[in-house]
Amino acid sequence: MAKKLKLRQKDLLAIGYPKGKAIGVAINAVIKHCKRQSKEVVLAQLKSVLETPEQFREDPAFGPIAAELLWEESEVEVQTEIPLAPEPKTYKTYGLQHIEAGTLLQMNTAMRLPVTVKGALMPDAHQGYGLPIGGVLATDNAIIPYAVGMDIGCRMCLTVYDIKPAFF
């Protein structure tokens, strides 16, 4: 009876597989389709898939590995810097006299993003981590997870009293 195949990540790294999803896909494929073959034979097959993945696209056992390797090769290099507009778009500011310069600078940076459509600063605005706390930013087809406030309990409140304004 043949010994059960034990294949590990380090085995695939040793034959040149890139770190990432392709290794997991390869190990899963081998467990499913090659569990009774020798480790040497399987590693030779996996090396062939690595060297010429396009030849294995339709292969029932190695096709998923080939697809992952081809996808990894086709990945476009991620742009690490987003070019900002030279000038910020205009935005509404409420209570400008009470808003600190650092908060305005933070909002001006947000208003220079290429996805920015509109923005506003509320009277209680103050510096945040990405967008100022009390800042509102509308974007076009984009979500910016870091453009949220981290200030627990910070809020505006409106109370309507049944008294004349002159009383205040």
Q: Which residue has the tokens 């890139």?
A: 18
pLDDT of residue 150: 62
Q: Which residue has the tokens 């209680």?
A: 124
pTM: 0.47
* All structural domains of the chain with their residue ranges: 9-74, 81-168
Helix axes 21-33, 63-74, angle to 10 degrees: 170
Q: Which residues pair with 136 in a beta bridge?
A: 120
**Burial annotation 91-127 (CB, 10 A radius, 16+ → b, else e):** bebeeeeebeeebbebbeebbbbeebeebebbebbbb
pLDDT of residue 7: 87
pLDDT of residue 143: 87
pLDDT of residue 164: 87
Measured between alpha carbons, how far is residue 83 from residues 75, 80, 90, 126 in Å?
21, 10, 18, 25
pLDDT along the chain (168 residues), means of 10: 78 93 92 89 95 95 93 63 92 94 95 96 88 91 78 68 83
Cα–Cα distance, 30 to 37 (Å, whole number): 9
